[in-house]
Chain A
Amino acid sequence: MIELKSVEKAVATRAGQTFLLRRVNLSIAEGEFVTIMGPSGAGKSTLLSILGMLDHAWSGEYRLFEHKVHRLKPKERIELNKRYVGFVFQQYHLLDNLTVAENLDIPLSYRNVKGSERAAIVADTLDRFQIVGKKDLFPSQLSGGQQQLVGVARALIAKPKLLLADEPTGNLHSDQGREIMRLFQKLNDEGMTILQVTHSEENARYGQRIVRLHDGWVTGEERVAERIGIPEGAAR
Chain B
Amino acid sequence: MLQDLRHALRTLVKSPGFAAAAIATLALGIGANTAIFAVVDAVLLRPLPYERAGALVLAQTIQSESRQPWATAPPDFYELRRRHRTLEGLASFYVRPVNLTGSDEPERVAALVVSSGFFAVLGRQPLLGRGLAIADEQWGAHRVAILSDGLWRRRFGADPGILGRPIQVDGVPHIVAGVLPPRFSFGSSGAQLFLPMAFAPGDNLNTHNNYFLSMIGRPKPGISRARALADLNAIMRDIEREHPENRGLTLELTPLQDSIVQAARPAILVLMGAVAFVLLIACGNLANLLLAHAIGRRREVAIRAALGASRPRLIRQFLTEGILLALVGGSAGVLLASWSLGAVHLLPPSVLPRADEVRLDPAVLAFAFGVTLLTALLFELVPALHGARVDVSGVLGERSGSPAGGMSQSLRGALVVVEIALSLVLLVGAALMLKSVGRLLRVDAGFEPRGVVSAELNLPRRKYIDERLEREFSPESYARANQFFQSVIGRIRALPGVQAAAVTSGLPLGGENWGKTITFYDRPIPSRLQDLPPIQYRVVAGDYFRALGIPILAGRAFTERDVLHAPWVAVVNRELVRRYWNGRDPVGRLISVNPPRELVPAGTLPPNYAGPEKYTVVGVVGNALYGALDREPLPLVYVPYAQGAEGATNMTLVVRARKDPLSLVGAIREQIAGVDRDQPIANVSTLEARIGTSILRPRLVTLMLGAFAALAALMALVGIYGVMWSSIRQRTTEIGIRMALGAEPAWVIKEVLTRGLRLSAAGVGLGLAAALGVSRVLSALLFGVSSIDPPTYLGVAVVLTCAALAACYLPARRAARVDPAIALRAE
Contacts and interface: CB of A to CB of B under 8 A. Distances in A.
Contact of B396 (A78, A82, A89, A96): A89
Nearest to B13: A97
Nearest to A98: B7
B157 interface: no
Nearest to A40: B398
Interface of B is mostly: helix
A106 B304 CA distance: 8
Interface string B297-330: 0011011111111100100000000000000000
Given A41-B398, A45-B397, A78-B308, A93 B3 contact: no
Nearest to B3: A109
Contacts of B303: 93-95
A93 B393 contact: no
B14 interface: yes
B306 A93 contact: yes
Contacts of A154: 307
Interface of A: 41, 45-46, 48-49, 52, 54-55, 75, 78, 81-82, 87, 89, 91, 93-98, 105-107, 109-111, 154, 158, 166
Contacts of B300: 95-96
Interface of B: 3, 7, 10-11, 14, 299-300, 302-310, 313, 392-393, 396-398
A46 B397 contact: yes
Given A45-B397, A46-B398, A110-B309, A55 B304 contact: no
B396 to A, nearest CB: 6
A166 B196 CA distance: 94
A45 B307 CA distance: 17
B392 A55 contact: yes
A95 B3 CA distance: 14
B747 to A, nearest CB: 25
A109 B14 CA distance: 23
A91 B300 CA distance: 12
B393 A78 contact: no
Contacts of B304: 95, 106, 110
Nearest to A107: B307
B308 A111 contact: yes
Contacts of B396: 54, 89, 91, 93
Nearest to A75: B310
Contacts of A55: 392-393
Contact of B308 (A45, A94, A107): A107
Contacts of B397: 45-46, 48-49, 166
Contacts of A95: 300, 303-304
Nearest to A91: B396
A54 B307 contact: no
Given A46-B393, A46-B397, A54-B396, 5 more contacts: A55-B393, A81-B308, A97-B14, A109-B3, A110-B304
15 contacts: A49-B392, A52-B306, A54-B392, A54-B396, A78-B308, A78-B310, A81-B308, A87-B306, A89-B306, A93-B302, A93-B396, A94-B303, A97-B10, A106-B304, A154-B307
Q: What are the 3 closest A-B residue pairs judged by CB atoms, nearest first?
A: A49-B393, A110-B308, A55-B393
Contacts of A52: 306
Nearest to B305: A54
A45 B395 CA distance: 12
B389 to A, nearest CB: 12
A210 B396 CA distance: 24
B398 A45 contact: yes
Nearest to B391: A55
A89 B11 CA distance: 23
Contact of A110 (B307, B393, B398): B307
Nearest to B393: A49
A111 B309 CA distance: 8
A15 B98 CA distance: 94
A49 B305 CA distance: 13
A10 B306 CA distance: 22
B90 to A, nearest CB: 68
Nearest to B397: A45
B15 to A, nearest CB: 10
B393 A106 contact: no
Of B14, B299, B307, B392, chain A has the most CB atoms within 10 Å of the CB of B307
A97 B7 contact: yes
A105 B307 CA distance: 11
A93 B309 contact: no
A93 to B, nearest CB: 5
A95 B573 CA distance: 84
A173 B10 CA distance: 32
Contacts of B3: 105, 109
Given A54-B392, A106-B304, A154-B307, A97 B313 contact: no
A113 to B, nearest CB: 11
Of A46, A49, A105, chain B has the most CB atoms within 10 Å of the CB of A49
A20 B397 CA distance: 13
A55 B395 CA distance: 11
Contacts of A81: 308
A88 to B, nearest CB: 11
Nearest to B303: A93
B307 to A, nearest CB: 5
Contacts of B313: 110
